Chain A
């Protein structure tokens, strides 16, 4: 053990009350940081998870059809003329040479999964009941890399072969059908057929559970007359909050429209960011309070131990060693205090998470206690401890031994 660490430890042990109080202060501060971070991160992960549990990070589709001129003939010479334009009805269209685009996306940095899909509107009917539905034609294997659809299944199997579909719980309830039941799907242009329900999913969204219907990719191509085409390529990235940048890059490289989940959920994103900012502000002020606490305790310690520092200097201890004695004290206070805080924050978070449960058994207030959070908290407290000790340690090293020995 270095001489300076030996002295630092002894000084901290010698001032038990002071050390205990500041360690409690640091522990509470770090505990609050851990608790708040775990709670807010947990809530955000839960919200984002629920949102992205049913959609891709980025959806790539063809540009909308441009308005066209519907009236107005040629004008003589250079004369200007008025024309009337009309926005054509948007229909389900295929991405041109989508296999090449798919391959390009798979090679794109930050992309971890690509799934070709055909998505379009249809009317689902059973008897006299009808629902305006969104048909999503998928290849189960590739789509599973984007959304965990199998995990959402609550009844039956995810079998989309032939004329089989998987529907949501709300549609099944409204139509009064279960697995094995039949419904009719009718798309534009009189295309449609009768499908058998192989499975029922629950997306925990009333709207999606009512409107979304999964069919096979080929089934959807037939339903929307795409003939081997796909209307969308759904993309999953490696960074949830990097989706916007990923979408911009994809749009730039492909010339297609690329919408990120962030663009489609602006309000949610603003809410999440506001939450994060509030959390960061609270953490900054807590860290500031901890830093001031450590600095004031060490500053008092320098005054209290001025004569001893003078003795150490007189007996051959270097200025740099005196500096290190106080830096070590700051580091020890930061590290031990943060470990106390880790325990305290974890207890608080676990207690809070256990307070209330959702009907499905999940925590109402989920907490995200991660190694990263612990590591970051300890590192921040250690850094704050050392930085807080810089000024007191500098003062200590500048003490004039003759003066402090004489005056104390």
Chain B
């Protein structure tokens, strides 16, 4: 039986910043992420984790190399096509939640879908409500983002990342700004969604506990993949 094609395939990926003084951040990354992966991306500060996350998330373009998502070489895509692919295939969870403060928890979760399909779709609301129930915020749907605790905001952010049924969620230090209990709840949710929905997660973390909770750990040093191993 043929191996399932990779969800994300990175080939010879490099990224440098600066024009006069060139600073290499990524120096040749080859990596594959498959569906249902629960993958931690670890490494010291400055090793290029967030840069790699931005390249996979199509928020930035590599200096050289290829980012292939669901079989599509993204290098040839224009901005509109990249935005469309990002909206369809990828979800984001940021360290500082980054919810839209002018909107309620429910509206924040609905946002990726109404940006694509418009507001007058009952299924969007139903789906967002269902996800908020799943992350335990059924009673907080109409609260503005700023009226929620840090842990609650991060749960809203997870619901928002999942609302468009992405194949991969990119999470940048999702527990980095939370107390231990909230962090544990968020981590448990990530694992739960990974198992139940089959959504792949790439979790950037400094936290060994978070990394060990993932099935696979990719460790980066100085812009290169130092190790790629199964957890436990």
Across the interface, do A402 and B54 meet the contact criterion of CB distance under 8 Å?
yes
| Interface SS majority for chain A | helix
Tell me which of B79, B84, B98, B116 contacts A307 (CB under 8 A).
B98
Cβ-closest chain A residue relative to B94: A405
- State the CA gap A13–B101 with chains docked (Å): 12
Contact size class for B?
20 to 34
CB neighbours (8 Å) of A310 from chain B are: 98
User: Given A2-B118, A3-B115, A316–B84 Cβ distance below 8 Å?
Assistant: yes
CB neighbours (8 Å) of B102 from chain A are: 10-11, 13-14, 308
The answer to whether the Cβ of A311 comes within 8 Å of any Cβ in the partner chain is yes
Across the interface, do B83 and A316 meet the contact criterion of CB distance under 8 Å?
yes
List residues of B (120-159) whose CB comes within 8 Å of A's CBs.
120
Cβ-closest chain A residue relative to B85: A316
Across the interface, do B83 and A318 meet the contact criterion of CB distance under 8 Å?
yes
The answer to whether the Cβ of A315 comes within 8 Å of any Cβ in the partner chain is yes
Instruction: Annotate A286-320 by CB proximity to B: 1 below 8 A, 0 otherwise.
Output: 00000000000000000000011011111111111
A72 CB → nearest B CB, Å: 92
User: Given A10-B102, A13-B102, A402–B59 Cβ distance below 8 Å?
Assistant: yes
The answer to whether the Cβ of A6 comes within 8 Å of any Cβ in the partner chain is yes
- State the CA gap A124–B102 with chains docked (Å): 84
The CB with the most chain B CB atoms within 10 A, among A14, A316, A321, A406, is that of: A316
Contact size class for A?
20 to 34
List residues of B (67-118) whose CB comes within 8 Å of A's CBs.
79-80, 83-84, 86-88, 91-92, 94, 98-103, 111-112, 114-116, 118
Instruction: Annotate B58-71 by CB proximity to A: 1 below 8 A, 0 otherwise.
Output: 01100000000000
Instruction: Annotate A1-40 by CB proximity to B: 1 below 8 A, 0 otherwise.
Output: 1110010001101100000000000000000000000000
- State the CA gap A313–B54 with chains docked (Å): 13
Across the interface, do B92 and A315 meet the contact criterion of CB distance under 8 Å?
yes
CB neighbours (8 Å) of A401 from chain B are: 59
The answer to whether the Cβ of B119 comes within 8 Å of any Cβ in the partner chain is yes
CB neighbours (8 Å) of B116 from chain A are: 316
- State the CA gap A400–B60 with chains docked (Å): 8
The answer to whether the Cβ of B9 comes within 8 Å of any Cβ in the partner chain is no
CB neighbours (8 Å) of B94 from chain A are: 311, 405
Tell me which of B50, B57, B114, B119 contacts A406 (CB under 8 A).
B50
Across the interface, do B86 and A314 meet the contact criterion of CB distance under 8 Å?
yes
CB neighbours (8 Å) of B86 from chain A are: 314, 316
The answer to whether the Cβ of B200 comes within 8 Å of any Cβ in the partner chain is no
Tell me which of A1, A307, A317 contacts B83 (CB under 8 A).
A317
Across the interface, do B115 and A405 meet the contact criterion of CB distance under 8 Å?
no
The CB with the most chain A CB atoms within 10 A, among B91, B101, B112, B115, is that of: B115
- State the CA gap A10–B104 with chains docked (Å): 11
A16 CB → nearest B CB, Å: 11
Across the interface, do B118 and A3 meet the contact criterion of CB distance under 8 Å?
yes
CB neighbours (8 Å) of A319 from chain B are: 79-80, 83
Across the interface, do A405 and B100 meet the contact criterion of CB distance under 8 Å?
no
CB neighbours (8 Å) of B80 from chain A are: 318-320
The answer to whether the Cβ of B219 comes within 8 Å of any Cβ in the partner chain is no
Across the interface, do B59 and A405 meet the contact criterion of CB distance under 8 Å?
yes
The answer to whether the Cβ of B164 comes within 8 Å of any Cβ in the partner chain is yes
A84 CB → nearest B CB, Å: 90
CB neighbours (8 Å) of B164 from chain A are: 316
B83 CB → nearest A CB, Å: 5
B187 CB → nearest A CB, Å: 22
Across the interface, do B160 and A315 meet the contact criterion of CB distance under 8 Å?
yes
- State the CA gap A71–B68 with chains docked (Å): 109
- State the CA gap A312–B118 with chains docked (Å): 14
Instruction: Annotate A311-346 by CB proximity to B: 1 below 8 A, 0 otherwise.
Output: 111111111110000000000000000000000000
A-B contacts besides A3-B114, A311-B100, A318-B83, 8 pairs, CB < 8 Å: A6-B114, A14-B102, A308-B100, A312-B100, A315-B112, A317-B115, A320-B80, A400-B59
Name 5 interchain pairs, CB-CB below 8 A, sorted by A.
Answer: A307-B98, A311-B99, A315-B91, A315-B160, A400-B59
